[in-house]
Amino acid sequence: MTRFLLARAARMVLTVFAVVLITFGLTRVAYRNPARMLAPENASEETIAAIANSLRLNDPWYQQLWYYVVRGPEIKGTPTGLVNWPPSLGYSYRQQRPVTELILEKIPVTFSLAAGALLLWITISVVLGVYAARRPGSVFDHVTSGVSYVLLSVPTFVTGVILLFVLYYQLSLAGVKFFPSGGYVALTESPAEWARHLLLPWTTLVLVEVGLFQRVVRASVLEVADKDYIRTARAKGLGAHGVYFNHALSAALNPILTLGAIEFAAILGGAIITEQIFGLDGVGRLAVNAANNGDAPVVIGCTLLGAVIFVVSTFVIDVITHARSGK
């Protein structure tokens, strides 16, 4: 187990480091003259040069990378690079604030979006997938399969726009104003309003993800349905509900957990489309605005956040599945 943990931890570190290198390189390619993007519209060449010098943009790329990862700007004589403690994601060119601080302000919105959607789509997928596996080839199985394929083929932005048009615009015209058009209310301010403002975004993600998850649950349960211990449970008189939900589902959890962790990390790290559609001021919108404004440290920080969430989630799931396998 120790060797397994060390190997997975080393893979996490290498993955994050690779993401830093790639993202850093891409921002240098995308923003050939970031000082001009950051300067006022009619700024002189002297002003642009001063901005470039103050942000170390004229240094060779490897010096900039070293400065970002190891040194960073000193605060009270202490370096604030990425590898220092606490880790720093640099400073925003535009807002002159720590990127970590900006992300921490936005992460509650994105986390609420991802966590709520994950809970809903896992619950719905498990129920639909298990019942489809109980009667493979039945009408219910064929209907859920067909709906799953349709949902998988519809892009997220299309689903979101349709939901807004039907459940917000059309219902508002009919005098039913339950669904808000967008925005976010903090959970600590009003739990009811928090859920009401996130209901449409959650539904968008659930409709997109439930098709895939339902098929994974069905396939995983069917794979273990003919095992000896399942037949033994049936022979002992255990009802179908207990056989499938208590025994078959438990044995089939590994692929479900793995896929759930990957999808949760993907949404939490980059819920760009959904946040844009529903006006949620989260990490996704922060990343889009930074990319449009040439704010490279924020772009790198948001990308790195997604990478860290992904590797940590997969690490936790790997440990759980390894422990469940008894190796």
What CATH number is attached to the domain comprising 168? 1.10.3720.10
10 domain-assigned: no
| Residue 108 shares a structural domain with residue 76 | no
For residues 156 and 242, state if they share a domain.
yes
Question: CA 321, CA 226: separation in Å to the nearest integer?
Answer: 22
Q: Tokens 């799931």: give the residue.
A: 317
The answer to whether position 7 is within a domain reads no
Token code pair at residue 143: 């209907």
Structure tokens at 85: 């403690």
pLDDT digits (tens, 9 = 90+) for 99-121: 888 999 998 998 899 888 888 88
Residue 31 within any structural domain of the chain = yes
* 26 and 151 inside one domain: no
pTM of the entire predicted model: 0.80
Instruction: Among 76, 98, 120, identify where a domain stops.
Output: 98
Mean pLDDT calculated for residue range 269-276: 73
**Does residue 251 sit within a domain?**
yes
Among 82-86, 117-121, 244-248, 286-290, which stretch is predicted with the lowest mean pLDDT? 244-248
Full domain range(s) for residue 276: 101-325
Three-point CA angle 301, 307, 308, nearest 5°: 85
| Last-in-domain residue among 98, 131, 146 | 98
Whether residue 253 lies inside any domain: the answer is yes
| Rounded Cα–Cα distance for residues 266 and 252 (Å) | 23
Of 48, 77, 98, the residue that ends a domain is 98
Q: Please indicate, yes or no, if residue 153 is contained in any of the structural domains.
A: yes
* Three-state secondary-structure class, residue 185: coil
Residue 194 has pLDDT above 90, yes or no: yes
Residues 303, 255, single domain; the answer is yes
Query: What does the pLDDT read at residue 50?
Result: 85
Instruction: Give the closest residue to 214 by CA, choosing from 318, 126, 101, 119.
Output: 126
Report the domain count for the chain.
2
